[in-house]
Amino acid sequence: MEQLNSFDEWIGTLEEEGTLLLFVKTDHCSVCEGLLPQVSAIEEEYAFPFYLANAAQVPELAGQLSLFTAPVVLLFKEGREFARFARFVPMADLKHRMDELELAGGQYE
């Protein structure tokens, strides 16, 4: 999972990749620390890239994406939000939406 460190880096990544998963965490978040390894563990099962951002370090990202809690897992297809999961993320539901995203195709390699 690649780390995004600025809003400009996020915009460039979204334009370049189009289809991706974005995991947004924050500092001192036990739910974030528990969910991150679960999401990271399934990264190799999918053809699209996974990215990580810390809302405390990139607050503009949280503002622009209207993120009011953490963690948030966002799926993007062709540069548009496809699905959003926040706070307590059922892994079965996340995987189901990721399967849909992969079946729908996209601009990933």
Domain harbouring 72, CATH code? 3.40.30.10
- Using left for φ > 0, alpha for ψ between -120 and 50, and beta otherwise, residue 84 falls in beta
Q: How many domains does the chain have?
A: 1
Query: In this predicted structure, what is the pLDDT of residue 37?
Result: 97
Query: In this predicted structure, what is the pLDDT of residue 103?
Result: 86
Domain annotation covers residue 32: yes
In terms of Cβ atoms closer than 10 Å to its own Cβ (0-12, 13-18, 19+), residue 8 is exposed
For residue 36, count other CB atoms closer than 10 A to its CB: 17
Tokens of 55: 């809302």
Per-residue pLDDT of the chain (109 residues; tens, 9 = 90+): 999 999 999 999 999 998 999 999 999 999 999 999 999 999 999 999 999 999 999 999 999 999 999 999 999 999 999 999 999 899 999 999 999 998 876 444 4
Chain CA centroid to CA 30, Å: 18
Residue 69's domain comprises 2-104
Domain annotation covers residue 109: no
Domain annotation covers residue 25: yes
Closest CA to 64 of 20, 27, 9: 9
> What is the pTM (predicted TM-score) of this model?
0.91
